[in-house]
A and B are shown apart, each in its own frame.
Chain A
Amino acid sequence: MSVLELQRVTKRYREGQLERVVLREVSLRIDGGELAVVWGLRGCGRSTLLRLAAGIEAPDEGDVLFEGRNLARHGEGALGAGIGYCQKSLGSGSQIVLDVVMVALLAAGVSPAQARSRGREALERARVSSCATLRVSALGAAERVRVALARVLAHEPRLLVVDDPVQGVDLLDRDGILALLRSFADGGLAVLASAGEATGLAGADRTLALSAGELRGPSPAQLAPVVELRPASVRQAGV
């Protein structure tokens, strides 16, 4: 069973009297350990596709299945049950990075001590632990993306959805973000990302193009070898 499956999904938006078809019978399957990246020009529907995949929006036709469950029937609950949608906005610049990562855990009822521990571990996985005590305003563009990813990772998702992670990131820092997504997939996570520039497709197992509401791409590539991402000591501790 695939982690994510879109079955003939169609999405329409009304613009005044007009109806625009953003996605037309789009089908897509992503397995654990797979990094799929969707490229498309501005306004092609990339963000819509990702919001549908994360269960934030519902399709007009077709089904979106997460681990075999239809997201439309589970509503927003699905978001807390294994889907991590990465929003790049980190909120107020005066906030401390670790607090940004911890806050949603605390809201979900996790104890402060556990939230701190999981927050630190997530920052470590996103390779931005050195920024834990900094204010958000002190972060560079690439660090902001890493912290945003850490905030999602702290919830231990099985599907990670990221909209254009390298947009606005310096050229020389871009590959660090791409390598991070690659490492998440190598660690067993299913990752669906979008890219406004084709450079963001590097390292993907599956590269797709979206235009005129249609998703196109080569047949599924062989999955990349699975490499343990988390240190053995962390796994044994059951964190």
Chain B
Amino acid sequence: MQSQVNWALLGLVIERPSYAYELARRFERTYEGVLTLSSVSHVYTALAALRERTLIEELPGTRVGRQPKPHYKATAKGHAGYAEWLVGQVDEDLRRQRLFVLALSTFTRDPHAALGMLARYEQACLTEAGRSPIAPREEVCVGDTRALAGRLLAEESRLAIGAKLAWVEYARQELSVLADSRTVAS
């Protein structure tokens, strides 16, 4: 299953069995700025896809009344599949990073241009690092899972940016040596 929306929705069903409309609201709150639903009907399509793959199932007794709200819960296969997808994000991150480095490497014939690109990339990293929210411990409310998710996200971003900035230092040194050698040769 390729759809990030489908996997993210499965995660919400695992968190708490629910019905389509409520899942759409929770989706918007949880993944704001990261994933978007085209409309509420997007959730119905995603739930149908998850059911088809037996990753979720309808909770018995919830399709009743004048306005039935069938609730969904994750199956054992859904739990296992979700865990696998989460761990697989490491590969996805590495793939994205490889793509960036390979794309930058196309500039190595012109190391000065590559250094310029690197400087812009560094600036973007520095700006992002400054924007990272601060969450002092004294203001932390234990049990506030939404705030906890925010802190985990902030920390992951900060550490990732730290690694990128250190890599920029390394790349700059490599490219500077290359640029100097080209200057001497010419």
B172 within 8 A of A: yes
The binding surface of chain A is classed by DSSP as: mixed
Residues 132-147 of B, flagged 1 when their CB comes within 8 A of A and 0 if not, give 1111111100000000
Complex interface: chain A residues within 8 A of B132 (CB): 199, 201-203
A51 within 8 A of B: no
User: In the bound complex, do residue A201 and residue B159 qualify as a contact, i.e. CB atoms below 8 Å apart?
Assistant: no
CB-CB nearest 5 A-B residue pairs:
A198-B162, A201-B129, A202-B132, A207-B130, A207-B126
User: In the bound complex, do residue B165 and residue A209 qualify as a contact, i.e. CB atoms below 8 Å apart?
Assistant: yes
State the CA gap A235–B66 with chains docked (Å): 64
User: In the bound complex, do residue A217 and residue B129 qualify as a contact, i.e. CB atoms below 8 Å apart?
Assistant: no
User: In the bound complex, do residue A197 and residue B162 qualify as a contact, i.e. CB atoms below 8 Å apart?
Assistant: yes
How many B residues are at the interface, by size bracket?
Answer: 20 to 34
**A176-B138, A211-B172 as given contacts; A39 in contact with B123, CB under 8 Å:** no
For window 23-62 of chain A, which residues contact chain B by CB distance below 8 Å?
A: 37, 39, 41
State the CA gap A37–B139 with chains docked (Å): 23
The binding surface of chain B is classed by DSSP as: helix
B119 within 8 A of A: yes
Complex interface: chain A residues within 8 A of B161 (CB): 198
User: In the bound complex, do residue A201 and residue B130 qualify as a contact, i.e. CB atoms below 8 Å apart?
Assistant: yes
A-B contact pairs, 12 of them (CB 8 A): A39-B126, A39-B165, A176-B136, A178-B134, A198-B158, A198-B159, A201-B126, A201-B130, A202-B133, A216-B123, A218-B127, A221-B127
User: In the bound complex, do residue A39 and residue B127 qualify as a contact, i.e. CB atoms below 8 Å apart?
Assistant: no
Beyond known contacts A176-B137, A198-B159, A198-B161: 9 more, CB 8 A cutoff: A39-B165, A41-B169, A176-B136, A178-B134, A178-B136, A179-B136, A201-B132, A203-B134, A212-B172
State the CA gap A37–B158 with chains docked (Å): 14
B113 within 8 A of A: no
Chain B nearest CB from A178 CB (Å) reads 5
**A39-B165, A199-B158 as given contacts; A207 in contact with B138, CB under 8 Å:** no
Residues 109-128 of B, flagged 1 when their CB comes within 8 A of A and 0 if not, give 00000000001001111110
User: In the bound complex, do residue A37 and residue B162 qualify as a contact, i.e. CB atoms below 8 Å apart?
Assistant: no
